[in-house]
């Protein structure tokens, strides 16, 4: 992992530079503060397990037939997302269509055209700078008699995005618009080689250069085997790889508002699962955009038809969503855009 490597090499060159590094980190941490904590709390309180539950049940229902990319069930799910944003009066940077169409030719053979769904709230000070909250909308589809509902994968992440969008909208209407623009991005084709994010990062609606960070959510409603006795956790992956500042902002948001155990085990480059490379955030990271991937780890229903809505831990989903909301709030409202580490790319 980057930070450890840097620290080690500094030890080798001498204590002066080690001191400088320690001092720099201390300064970085001291500069991160939620001056508007009360306001953040007000809108965190609008994120509720009951609303998240309603979203997960709706999005993972049989109506969408397992949301297989390019198939009628996924198109219907995309329409569901668009209708939600219309009903919440949240605009799209693409105007009235909300869809970023991806042609069949961009997919591997046998997969039909599909779409990312994009909504946003425009920043009032730095509208060209964007923070993207993403979650993939597709899943495994169905076989003859079995629908893969994908409640955790990724009904949970989708519900979190919808609930955060509503909270940011309410804040905007009540006089607290974001300084930067915040984008709600529902990516298609994650289950087929991260195609939706590959397309978005190749044909971005906002330039990659102006994309401050990507917070990507893929499965945050369950508890894995390693945490059966301590479910108050979330795996945080990638936060420190491109921006040390982003890592500390995430830690500060958690300390201030949620007190989850941020588990970095899966962020280790030596982790054999290599999750950092396995969901949509990676396409953003490859373009130099700092990312955080939020994940609950695998469980017995992962990619099984038994990944259903009644198995989601809704109080925990609420808490994890609040962590992401607080982090996003900081990223869009800080006076200074977060920095990418000079030695990161
Ligand atoms: Zn997934």
Give the mean pLDDT of 228-240. Answer: 97
Distance (angstroms) between ligand 1 centre and the Cα of 55 equals: 17
Cβ distance 114 to 107 under 8 Å?
A: yes
Distance (angstroms) between ligand 1 centre and the Cα of 138 equals: 8
Distance (angstroms) between ligand 1 centre and the Cα of 219 equals: 6
Distance (angstroms) between ligand 1 centre and the Cα of 132 equals: 17
Distance (angstroms) between ligand 1 centre and the Cα of 19 equals: 42
Query: What's the pLDDT tens digit per position in 283-327?
Result: 999 999 999 999 999 999 999 999 999 999 999 999 999 999 999
Q: What are phi and psi of 100, to 5 degrees?
A: -100, 105
pLDDT at 345: 56
Distance (angstroms) between ligand 1 centre and the Cα of 191 equals: 7
Q: Residue 216, Cβ neighbours under 10 Å: how many?
A: 30
The pLDDT of residue 87 is above 80? yes
CA-to-CA dists, residue 241 to 1, 6, 249, 290, angstroms: 7, 12, 14, 7
Query: What's the pLDDT tens digit per position in 144-181?
Result: 889 999 999 999 999 999 999 999 999 999 999 999 99
Lowest mean per-residue pLDDT among 19-28, 31-40, 91-100:
19-28
Distance (angstroms) between ligand 1 centre and the Cα of 326 equals: 23
Residue 16 confidence class, pLDDT cut points 50, 70, 90 = confident
Cβ distance 202 to 140 under 8 Å?
A: no
What is the Cα–Cα distance from 326 to 93, expressed in whole angstroms? 23
Distance (angstroms) between ligand 1 centre and the Cα of 59 equals: 14
Rg, C-alpha atoms of the chain: 19
Distance (angstroms) between ligand 1 centre and the Cα of 194 equals: 10
Cβ distance 47 to 164 under 8 Å?
A: yes
The pTM of this model reads 0.94
Distance (angstroms) between ligand 1 centre and the Cα of 126 equals: 32
Distance (angstroms) between ligand 1 centre and the Cα of 257 equals: 26
Distance (angstroms) between ligand 1 centre and the Cα of 280 equals: 9
Q: Which domains does the chain have, with CATH numbers?
A: 1-30 (no CATH), 35-333 (3.40.630.10)
Query: What's the pLDDT tens digit per position in 180-201?
Result: 999 999 999 998 999 999 999 9
What is the Cα–Cα distance from 53 to 20, expressed in whole angstroms? 48
Distance (angstroms) between ligand 1 centre and the Cα of 296 equals: 11
Distance (angstroms) between ligand 1 centre and the Cα of 187 equals: 10
Residue 24 confidence class, pLDDT cut points 50, 70, 90 = confident
Query: What's the pLDDT tens digit per position in 28-46?
Result: 999 999 999 999 999 999 9
Residue 14 confidence class, pLDDT cut points 50, 70, 90 = low
Q: What share of the chain in percent tops pLDDT 90?
A: 90
Distance (angstroms) between ligand 1 centre and the Cα of 23 equals: 39
The residue whose two tokens read 């169409």 is 101
Give the mean pLDDT of 99-120. Answer: 96
The pLDDT of residue 136 is above 80? yes
Distance (angstroms) between ligand 1 centre and the Cα of 137 equals: 8
Distance (angstroms) between ligand 1 centre and the Cα of 2 equals: 26
pLDDT at 20: 85
């Amino acid at each position: 992992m980057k930070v450890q490597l840097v620290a080690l090499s500094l030890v080798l060159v001498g204590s002066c530079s080690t001191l400088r590094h320690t001092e720099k980190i201390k300064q970085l941490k001291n500069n991160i503060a939620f001056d508007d904590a009360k306001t953040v709390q007000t809108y965190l309180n609008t994120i509720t397990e009951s609303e998240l539950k309603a979203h997960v049940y709706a999005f993972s229902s049989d109506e969408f037939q397992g949301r297989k990319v390019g198939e009628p069930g996924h198109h219907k799910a995309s329409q569901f997302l668009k209708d939600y944003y219309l009903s919440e009066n949240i605009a799209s940077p693409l105007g009235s269509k909300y869809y970023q169409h991806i042609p069949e030719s961009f997919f591997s053979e046998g997969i039909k055209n599909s779409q990312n769904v994009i909504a946003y709230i425009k920043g009032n000070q730095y509208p060209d700078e964007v923070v993207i909250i993403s979650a993939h909308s597709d899943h495994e589809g169905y076989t003859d008699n079995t629908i893969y509902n994908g409640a955790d994968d990724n009904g949970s992440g989708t519900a979190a995005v919808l609930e955060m969008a509503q909270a940011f909208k309410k804040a905007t209407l009540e006089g607290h618009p974001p300084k930067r623009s915040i984008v709600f991005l529902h990516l298609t084709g994650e289950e087929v080689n991260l195609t939706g994010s590959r397309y978005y990062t190749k044909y971005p609606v906002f330039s990659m250069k102006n994309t401050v960070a990507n917070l990507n959510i893929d499965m945050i409603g369950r508890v894995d085997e390693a945490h059966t006795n301590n479910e108050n956790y979330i795996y945080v992956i990638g936060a420190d790889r491109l921006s040390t500042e982003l890592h500390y902002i995430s830690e500060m948001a958690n300390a201030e508002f949620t007190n989850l155990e941020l588990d970095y085990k899966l962020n280790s480059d030596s982790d054999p699962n290599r999750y950092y490379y396995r969901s949509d955030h990676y396409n953003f990271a490859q373009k130099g955009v700092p990312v955080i991937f939020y994940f609950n780890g695998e469980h017995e229903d992962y990619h099984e038809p038994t990944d259903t809505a009644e198995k989601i831990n809704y109080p925990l989903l609420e808490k994890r969503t609040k962590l992401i909301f607080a982090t996003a709030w900081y990223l869009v409202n800080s006076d200074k855009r977060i920095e990418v580490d000079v030695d990161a790319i």
